[in-house]
Structure 1
């Protein structure tokens, strides 16, 4: 188990046209979503780099990132209002769920790899239904130094929105991309 301390700031990257606090449950599109749509999941990061990588660096073979794509996103921050208890689904925590890094990090592609999220979604549903934990801590697929959080909607009161709709700075973006071998392209 992992714990996020009261007062810890968590980060999210979201589309500029939607609110930052959104617990998706529409169609089990993302990695830790409930396959049956009974609960929602809010995706966060311990730093802004994690959700940035998860949102904008999804094609590692394409080394160019268009500024237009970044400009359509916004940053948000949340503070933990109480300790947040998370299932640790990385490192030794993988063994508890009878999986591997590959099992929870498969690339989702509905054409070439349908069902790639079946394992993490099963794990998410298991954690939600058999524990009182607030969510899951996992490693970003696109920068495994970054720890991310899939917060269950039942833990909504455990966070408060601090900032929302903050434009992502171009210089910061250039630095993050450069450190990872990407190039920012402005058209």
Structure 2
């Protein structure tokens, strides 16, 4: 039985690279959801901007942010900017909801639940400030791990019943755009408004 690594000021412990990561396969054909600006590709990988939670501080690899469900995709983009109960209609029109399909099994590190303690992490890696250096350090440590995972699954900050998936650009050829719809015309929007007590 492997010993548990110890947290180190919120950053990945040095011994993490010698541990087996908690990896789960997302099967080929699995659909992930991504809320993205209409002027960017649905398969856009952010690189070097240091603005997003799991971006690589050095810009050595790109990250594409998806979610397990449309609700998670909405929460990741719109709820972090929430002011009161009204949805910003202009922001809705600037984004669309894309379906991203896995063309092969994707090997995803489960960065939540009991795995946090096993790896030496805490929940702040996904619930702390978006620009936190700790989360970016974890992303780099996981990306550079000998297990070579395709990404990270984590709890969405503003709805922790939902799961986010940060994909590394090493799997860029293994995902494909399946479909897109605009948020302001989405049939899901009324359900989303009800779920989060929002007003159009």
**TM-score between the two structures when normalised by the length of structure 2:** 0.81
In the other structure, the counterpart of 2:191 is: 175
- Pick the aligned partner of 2:139 from 115, 124, 132: 124
In the other structure, the counterpart of 1:113 is: none
Structure 2 vs 1, CA of residues 55 and 30 (structure 1 numbering), >3 Å: closer, same or farther? same
Runs of 4+ in 1 over 6 A off after TM superposition: none
Unaligned regions of 5+ residues in structure 1, if any?
A: 109-115
Does 1:147 find its partner at 2:169?
no
Does 1:158 find its partner at 2:180?
no
Q: What SS is found at the alignment partner of 1:65? A: coil
- Does structure 1 retain, via aligned residues, the 8 Å contact 2:48–2:55? no
In the other structure, the counterpart of 1:41 is: 63
Mapping of residues 96-135 of structure 1, within 5 Å: 96-108=118-130, 116-130=131-145, 131-135=147-151
Greater shift, 78-87 or 170-179, is seen at 170-179
- Pick the aligned partner of 1:70 from 74, 92, 97: 92
Task: Provide the aligned C-alpha RMSD in A.
Answer: 1.6
Which protein is bigger by CA-based radius of gyration? 2
**TM-score between the two structures when normalised by the length of structure 1:** 0.87
Distance 1:170 1:154 in 2: 31
